[in-house]
Amino acid sequence: MAVPLVVDPPVLRESGQREVFCGLTSIVWLHRRMPDAFFLVVGSRTCAHLIQSAAGVMIFAEPRFGTAILGERDLAGLADANAELDRLVAQLLQRRPEIRTLFLVGSCPSEVIKLDLAKAAERLNQQHHGRVQVLNYSGSGIETTFTQGEDGALQALVPLLPATDQDQLLIVGTLADAVEDRLVGLFQRMGIGRVVSLPPRRSTDLPAVGPGTRVLLAQPFLSGTARALVDRGAQLISAPYPLGVEGSRAWMAAAADAFGIAAAQVAQVLDPLVERGLQALAPHRELLTGKRLFLLPDSQLEIPLARFLSRECGMELVEVGTPYLDRQLMASELELLPPGTSLSEGQHLENQLDRVRAARPDLVVCGMGLANPLEAEGIATKWSIELVFSPIHGCDQAADLAELFSRPLRRHSLLQFN
Amino acid sequence: MELTLWTYEGPPHVGALRVATSMEGVHLVLHAPQGDTYADLLFTMIERRDRRPPVTYTTFQARDLGGDTAELVKRAIADAAARFQPEALLVGESCTAELIQDQPGALAAGMDLGGIPVVSLELPAYSKKENWGAAETFYQLVRGLLKGQVPEPSSPRPDPGQWREQGRRPRVNLLGPTLLGFRCRDDVAEISRLLDGYGIEVAVVAPLTARSSDLLRIPNADANVCLYPEVAATACSWLERQFGMPVVRTVPIGIGATTAFLREIHEVLQLPLPPQLQPGPQGAAALERQSRLPWYSRSVDSTYLTGKRVFIFGDATHAIAAARIASGELGFQVVGLGSYSRELAREVRAAARDLGLEALITDDYLAVEAAMAEAAPELVLGTQMERHSAKRLGIPCAVISAPLHVQDVPARYSPVMGWEGASVLFDSWVHPLMMGLEEHLIGMFRHDFEFVDGHRSHLGDSPPATSAGSAEAPVVAAESPLPGLSWSPDGEAELAKIPFFVRGKVRRNTETYARQHGLCQIDTEALYAAKAHYSR
C-alpha cells in the first residue's frame, strides 16, 4: 500500500510572552452546557477576576461557578487548606441543593502549592456520597490554554462513563444545543441510529462508551479526551472540523463512512445542505475574497478557521498562529491548508505584533486585550472569544461564521467622518 | 479560604497595572503565568484604550518551573527595557509567582539596565486587593523616584504660603486619579478648571497622564490634593511626613464638599477666602450659581424626591459622598450605606452613624443584595454589581463607583467632582426615577388600567412580577356614559379645562366614581369629589 506523502508545512516555533487566556476560561461555556454542574476553582482572587472579566459582565444572580480563594492561612498549611475546602464545599452544596456534579478546578496557585485536588475530590465524594459526584481537573495557566480547560473537564468525566458494546456515534465537544439537535437529526437521516454527546446536557446523563463507539470531535482542542476515549475502546474518526460548508460536510461524511453508510445516501442528505450553504456564503465570500488574514494564537480554532476562510471565503493567509499544534488532531486540517501557509506555534507577542504591523493584514483574529490597540492602528480585528460562544458549527451556520469575519470589514468601509 | 462568585476588586497586581497604564513612559514587568494577561482587556475593552497596557508578562508555564524561571524573569526585564526604553521600570509579581519566590525586584536590581530607575513592588496577593495594590504601587513609585530629594529631617518644613514671596501662583498636585477609577478623566479636568478660577495652579496630576519626570516635580508644589484616597492616601501621607507637604483631604463631590474643599485649600495655601466662599447666605447663593444642582433640587418638580428611599454601596470615597449628597442636597432618605473598601471602613461607619445607620462593610455581593432587598429602597446607588442586583429586584439604579463597565466610561464630559460634577450627579440619580409631574399624574390616575400599581414608564419594561396585579382591579367604564348617567353643562365645562392629554382618563375615572356612588348626573361638584377620591 502506498503511503501518502504528507509534507508537513514549516512551523515557526516561538517562545516569549503569550497573550492567551488560561483553561479556567472554558468554565464560561461549560457551565451553561451542564446546568446541574458547579465549577469550583481552587485558586486566587486573580482566578475569580479572570473568569468575571472574560465573561464580560456579571449577569447572573448566583453563577454556577465560583472560586475558593486561597488565603495566607491555606498557604501556611495544606492540612488547613483541605479542611477549609471541605467546609466550603459543604456550605456551597447546602446553598445549592440542585447541584449534581461538582468540578474542583485546579489553578496556577493550587498546582504550585501541590494541593492534591484528586485526593480532595475522593474525600468529598465520600462525604457527599449519593448526593453529588465530585471530580477534578486543572484549568491552570501553567498547564492549559483557554479552550484546553474543556479538554480537562471532559477527560475528568471519561472514567465515569458506563461501558457499552453498542454501535454508536459519540460527538465530543460543547456545541450550542440547537446546532447539536440539527446535527444529530442529520446523522439520523443518513442512517446512524444512535448518536450521543459529551458533555451531555445534564451532568448525570453521561453517555456510555466502548468498542462500538466511534468518536467524532466537534472541537479541535480535545486531545486528552480523545485519547481517554480511545483507551476505553472507542475508535477516533479522523476528519476536518465542522466549520464551514466543506469542513462540516467532510466531518459528517467521515462519521457516515465509519458506519459504512453508502456515499449515495450521504450525498442525498448532505448535498442540498451544501448547495444552500454555499449560496448563503456567497455574499460573504465576495467581501472576503483576496483579503489578507492574520490569526493570533488563542482559541486553538485558528487552523480550522484558516482552512475555512481561505478555501471557502477566498482569504489569503498571512500567518496562522496556534497556541500548540497537535499534529494528530489537526492532520485532516493541515492537508487542506494551502501549500506554503505560514504556521506559527506558541507565541512571542512582541515579535508577532511586529509581523502584523509589517504585513498590514486586512483582518486580525485576536484576543480582546489586543483588538482595540490594533483597531487604533487601522487594522480590523475579530475577537476570538466570540468563536467559542457563538453557534458556528455545521453547513447551516457557515454563512453566520463567515459573517463574523465580514462584519468588521463591512464596518470599516461603512464608517466615514468627513 | 473564602468562596467568591463575583468580586468587587481584583488582585493587588491589577492595582499596579492601573497605575502603570495610567502613566506615560512607565513600564511594568510582571512575573505571572500565562492567563494573567487577561488583565489587558480591562483597559482595552472597559476603558476602550487604544494602546496595550505597558506591561510585559513573563507568562511562565509548568515546564518552566523545573528549569530556571529566574532566567525567564531576567530575559523579560532585559527585553522590555530594550524594546520600550521606559523612563521608569516597575517590577512585580502576581499570585502564582509570589509562591515560587524568584524575587523579580532583586533580580532587576542586579541587572544593568542603562540607568533606568527600577521600582520593585511587593504585592501580597493572598491578603491584599486591587485598591491596596494601586496605592502601594503609586507610593513605591513616588518614594523610589523622590528618595534622593527627601530633605534632612532637621530642615525646616516648607511654608505653604511661600508662593507669595516667590512671586508666583500657588500650586497643588492632584493625586490619585487612575484608569478604571470612576470618572477620573473628567474629574481632573473639572477640578483643574475649578482651581484655576481661584488662581491656583495644578502642578502635577498623577498617576493619570503623568510621566516619571512629572513625579520628580511633586515637591515643587505647595500642597497635595488627595483626590482619590483609595489610591493616593499612602503617597500623600509619605509626602507629608518626608517633605512637609500639607494634604487637602476633602473630596470635592457634591456642593457642600466642593465648598469645603475650596475653603480647605485656601486655608492650607494661606489664601484669603474670597467673598463667595465665606460662610453665610450670600456666599452660599454665589456658590450655588456655579452648579445647577441646588436650584434643581429646590425647584418644585423635585418635591417628589423628598424622602425617596436610597440604598448606597461602593468604594468608600464615592459611597460616603453619595450618602451626604443624597440626604443633604437631594432630600432623599438613605436607608442603607456600605462599602467594600475595608481600608476605609472606619470612615464609612462614621458616615453611616451620622445617618442613624449601621454600615455594611463586605465584599460579598450576595450580602449586599440581601441588604438591598431588606431595605426596600426606591433607588440604588452602587457599582456595576449593584446595578445587576437592583435590576433583578426591579429597582432603579445609578452607578456611582468602580467596579465599572464600558458604559461608565462615557464619551461625553461627565465629571462627578466640582460644580459640574454636582449637576451630573443630579441628572444621573434623578433620571432613573420617575419624573415629578409624571409621578403626580400616576398618583392621580392610579386606578386606570394603564397605570397599574408599579407602572414604570421610565424604566422601559414591565412592572416587576411581585407588584403587577397587586393593585385593586381597576374599574373601566365604557367610552360613553352608561344609560342613566350624563354630564351637566358645568361639569362638561370643568372637564374641558383639564389638559387634553389626561382629559379622557379624568372623564372615565369620574364616570366610574359616579356610578359607584349612584349619581345620575356629573356636575362640577361630582368631578371634584371624584378627584378627591382618586388622589387619596
Q: Do B366 and A62 touch (CB under 8 A)?
A: yes
Sign of CA dihedral B285, B291, B293, B295: positive
Q: Do A49 and B129 touch (CB under 8 A)?
A: no
Helix or strand (DSSP H, E) at B145: helix B130-146
Domain positions in chain A are 23-144, 168-264, 278-414
Q: What's B326's DSSP letter?
A: I
B9 to chain A: closest CA residue: A49
Q: Average pLDDT of A193-217?
A: 96
Does residue A81 contact residue A56 with C-beta atoms inside 8 Å? no
Helices (H), A106-262: 108-112, 117-127, 148-157, 177-190, 223-231, 244-258
Chain A nearest C-alpha distance from B13 (Å): 9
Q: Which residue is listed with cell 525586584?
A: B105
What are the Cα distances from residue A50, in Å, to A26, A47, A324, B6, B349? 11, 5, 22, 10, 31
Rounded distance between C-alpha atoms, residue B135 and residue B24, angstroms = 18
Residue of A157, A166, A216 lying closest to A186 (CA atoms): A216
Residues of A in contact with B385 (CB under 8 A): 58
Q: Which residue is listed with cell 407602572?
A: B455
Q: Average pLDDT of A136-146?
A: 95
Rounded distance between C-alpha atoms, residue A405 and residue A402, angstroms = 5
Among the partner-chain residues A48, A61, A371, the one whose CB lies closest to the CB of B7 is A48
> Fold match between A23-144 and A278-414?
yes
Check residue A56 and give its pLDDT.
Answer: 65
Rg (CA), chain B: 29
What are the Cα distances from residue A21, in Å, to A164, B76, B130, B309? 37, 19, 20, 43
Rounded distance between C-alpha atoms, residue A394 and residue A387, angstroms = 14
Question: In the beta sheet, which residues pair with residue B55?
Answer: B28
Is CATH 3.40.50.1980 correct for A23-144?
yes
Q: Which CATH architecture has domain A168-264?
A: 3-Layer(aba) Sandwich (3.40)
Chain A nearest C-alpha distance from B96 (Å): 5
pLDDT of A57 strictly over 90:
no
Question: Is the preceding peptide bond at B207 cis, omega within 30 degrees of 0?
Answer: yes
Going by C-beta distance under 8 Å and a sequence separation of 6 or more, which residues neighbour residue A94?
Answer: none
Check residue B283 and give its pLDDT.
Answer: 75
Residues of A in contact with B56 (CB under 8 A): 17
Helices (H), B217-254: 229-243
Which SS3 state, helix, strand or coil, does residue B321 take? helix
Q: Which residue is listed with cell 454555499?
A: A278
Count CA atoms within 13 Å of residue B195 on its CB side: 26
Confidence of residue A8 (pLDDT cuts 50, 70, 90): low
Could you count the other beta carbons within 10 Å of the beta carbon of residue B509? 25
Chain A nearest C-alpha distance from B59 (Å): 6
For residue A140, give the C-alpha cell: 491552570
From A72-76, A190-194, A209-213, the region with the lowest mean pLDDT: A72-76
Going by C-beta distance under 8 Å and a sequence separation of 6 or more, which residues neighbour residue B470?
Answer: B453, B454
Whether B187 is catalytic = no
Residue of A286, A283, A294 lying closest to A316 (CA atoms): A294
Q: Do B36 and A70 touch (CB under 8 A)?
A: no
For residue B320, give the C-alpha cell: 460616603
Rounded distance between C-alpha atoms, residue A183 and residue B225, angstroms = 64
Q: Model's pTM, two decimal places? A: 0.89
State the Cα torsion A20-A22-A25-A30 to the nearest 10°: 120
Strands A65-69 and A380-383 turn out to be unpaired
Check residue B5 and give its pLDDT.
Answer: 87
A403–B contact, CB cutoff 8 A: no
Could you count the other beta carbons within 10 Å of the beta carbon of residue B378? 18
Check residue B301 and give its pLDDT.
Answer: 87
Among the partner-chain residues A18, A66, A81, the one whose CB lies closest to the CB of B5 is A66
Check residue B438 and give its pLDDT.
Answer: 65
DSSP codes of every residue in A61-114:
SS-SEEEEE--HHHHH-HHHHHHHHHHHHHHHHHH-TT--EEEEEE-HHHHHTT
Q: Which residue is listed with cell 502549592?
A: A113
A143–B contact, CB cutoff 8 A: yes
Check residue A233 and give its pLDDT.
Answer: 97
Rounded distance between C-alpha atoms, residue B81 and residue B254, angstroms = 44
Rounded distance between C-alpha atoms, residue A124 and residue A85, angstroms = 9
Residues of A in contact with B5 (CB under 8 A): 48, 62-63, 65-67
Q: What is the mean pLDDT of chain A?
A: 94
How far is the first Cα of chain B from the last one, in angstroms, to the nearest whole number?
A: 55
Confidence of residue A415 (pLDDT cuts 50, 70, 90): very high
A19–B contact, CB cutoff 8 A: yes
Q: Average pLDDT of A260-279?
A: 96
Burial of A313 (0-12, 13-18, 19+ CB in 10 A): buried
Q: Do B79 and A350 touch (CB under 8 A)?
A: yes
Chain A nearest C-alpha distance from B448 (Å): 34
Residue of A167, A252, A244 lying closest to A217 (CA atoms): A252
Residues of B in contact with A367 (CB under 8 A): 37, 41
A85 to chain B: closest CA residue: B1
For residue A17, give the C-alpha cell: 510572552
> Tell me: the pLDDT tens digits for A74-117?
888 777 889 999 999 999 999 899 999 999 999 999 999 999 99
Going by C-beta distance under 8 Å and a sequence separation of 6 or more, which residues neighbour residue A249?
Answer: A270, A273, A274, A395
Q: Can you list the residues of chain B whose pLDDT is less than 70?
A: 435-482, 499-502, 536
For residue B164, give the C-alpha cell: 507669595
Percentages helix, strand, coil for chain A, rounded to the nearest 5?
Answer: 50, 20, 35
- Helices B384-393 & B365-375, crossing angle to 10 degrees? 50
Residue pairs spanning A and B at CB distance below 8 A: 193
What are the Cα distances from residue A363, in Å, to A14, A312, A389, B56, B170? 22, 16, 20, 25, 52
Residue of A205, A204, A208, A197 lying closest to A164 (CA atoms): A208
Check residue A9 and give its pLDDT.
Answer: 65
Helix or strand (DSSP H, E) at A170: strand A168-172
Rounded distance between C-alpha atoms, residue B535 and residue B235, angstroms = 58
Helices (H), B299-398: 316-324, 345-354, 365-375, 384-393
Could you count the other beta carbons within 10 Å of the beta carbon of residue A276? 15
Superfamily (CATH H level) for A278-414: Nitrogenase molybdenum iron protein domain (3.40.50.1980)
Which SS3 state, helix, strand or coil, does residue B376 take? coil
Rounded distance between C-alpha atoms, residue A174 and residue B344, angstroms = 45
Interface probe for B, chosen from A47, A142, A385 (most Cβ of B below 10 Å), is A142
Q: Is B151 left (phi over 0), alpha (psi -120 to 50) or beta?
A: beta
Residue of B385, B415, B247, B401 lying closest to B321 (CA atoms): B401
For residue B294, give the C-alpha cell: 441646588
* Type of residue at A383: W
Check residue B477 and give its pLDDT.
Answer: 38
Helix or strand (DSSP H, E) at B184: helix B184-197
Q: What's B450's DSSP letter?
A: G
Rounded distance between C-alpha atoms, residue A113 and residue B367, angstroms = 31
Q: What's B299's DSSP letter?
A: S
Residues constituting chain A: 418
Q: Average pLDDT of A129-138?
A: 96
Residue of B158, B280, B172 lying closest to B226 (CA atoms): B172
Check residue B442 and give its pLDDT.
Answer: 60
Write down the catalytic residue from B301, B354, B364, B453.
Answer: B301
DSSP codes of every residue in A104-149:
EEE-HHHHHTT--HHHHHHHHHHHTTTT-EEEEEE--TTT-BTTHH
Sign of CA dihedral A122, A124, A127, A132: negative
Which domains are assigned to chain B?
Answer: 12-148 (3.40.50.1980), 162-288 (3.40.50.1980), 293-433 (3.40.50.1980), 437-534 (1.10.8.550)
